[in-house]
Chains A and B, each alone.
Chain A
Amino acid sequence: MAEEELRAKLRAATEAFSSERVRWLLGRSKYIAEVGKLKPEEVKALITDVLREEMERGHILSELKANGPLTVPELSERTGLPKRRIMWHLICMMKDGRVAIWGKKGDYYAFSATKG
């Protein structure tokens, strides 16, 4: 694997572990299991899923921060994720205020990162 690709993935993982969702879940996982809301293995599966999602979002964010505004097909090409999933992540991140619509590039909307 190319060093640059590995660095991008590491940046994405750092973003994931810094995200509020993952931090909250990691902090509360013991409590969630203790009060019996979820079984320990369900908590583990939930954290794994959320972590994967946040890593993908982190990857998208690091691409946006490094390359400026990008469209869904451009992001899909750079991250290797399907366009549908990119769109879903972008909508979720727009809701969180992490990305915003920057403008248009040809027929596509371009998105940019909003936080430093």
Chain B
Amino acid sequence: MAREREFEPLIVAFCCNWCSYAGADLAGTSRIEYPTNVRIIRVMCSGRVDPVFVLEAFKMGADGVLLTGCHPGDCHYIDGNLKAEMRARYIRMCLEEIGLEPERFRLEWVSASEGVRFAQLVKEFTETIKRLGPSPLRRRERG
């Protein structure tokens, strides 16, 4: 008898090289468990993430997109994270206009020492996306 499979979201996370990626790495090396739904893409700075990247991820079937950067004032490139914050505002507005829930996109600050916070964040975000359900653009046949 076929068992009904629970919805497992696919989350794309853009992590900045200097803080968040190191935070994610710390979570891994500290053996902190967090959902395997997240696919991490390392970028040099959260400010490097063009809104087109986020939209492209949704277009390709991501259920959620997480953008993480250094805390304000800690950016390796001085104000890259502030640029990301400004863009995030318009990305959310754009998602709302399109008809996708803006909660599917989240911007958070994670420093290199915050492995626990990174794991907690991924857990929370995965729960949020599970509650929202699969993205309408998710390919049905995707495994």
Contacts and interface: CB of A to CB of B under 8 A. Distances in A.
A80 to B, nearest CB: 13
A10 B59 contact: yes
Contacts of B58: 10
A51 B90 contact: yes
A1 interface: yes
A113 interface: no
Given A18-B52, A26-B87, A10 B93 contact: no
Contacts of B59: 7, 10-11, 14
Contacts of B86: 26, 29-30
Given A3-B137, A17-B55, A55 B50 contact: no
Interface of B is mostly: helix
B60 to A, nearest CB: 10
B75 to A, nearest CB: 14
B41 interface: no
Contacts of A17: 50-52, 55, 94
Nearest to B140: A3
Interface in B38-68: 50-52, 55-56, 58-59
B99 A47 contact: no
A41 to B, nearest CB: 12
Contacts, number: 51
A104 to B, nearest CB: 34
A3 B61 CA distance: 11
Nearest to A27: B83
A13 interface: yes
A44 B89 CA distance: 10
B97 interface: yes
B93 A13 contact: no
A89 B104 CA distance: 31
Interface in B54-106: 55-56, 58-59, 82, 86-87, 89-90, 93-94, 97-100
Nearest 5 CB-CB pairings of A with B: A17-B51, A9-B98, A14-B55, A13-B94, A1-B99
5 contacts: A10-B58, A13-B94, A18-B52, A30-B86, A51-B93
Interface of A: 1, 3, 6-7, 9-11, 13-14, 16-18, 26, 29-30, 44, 47-48, 51-52, 55
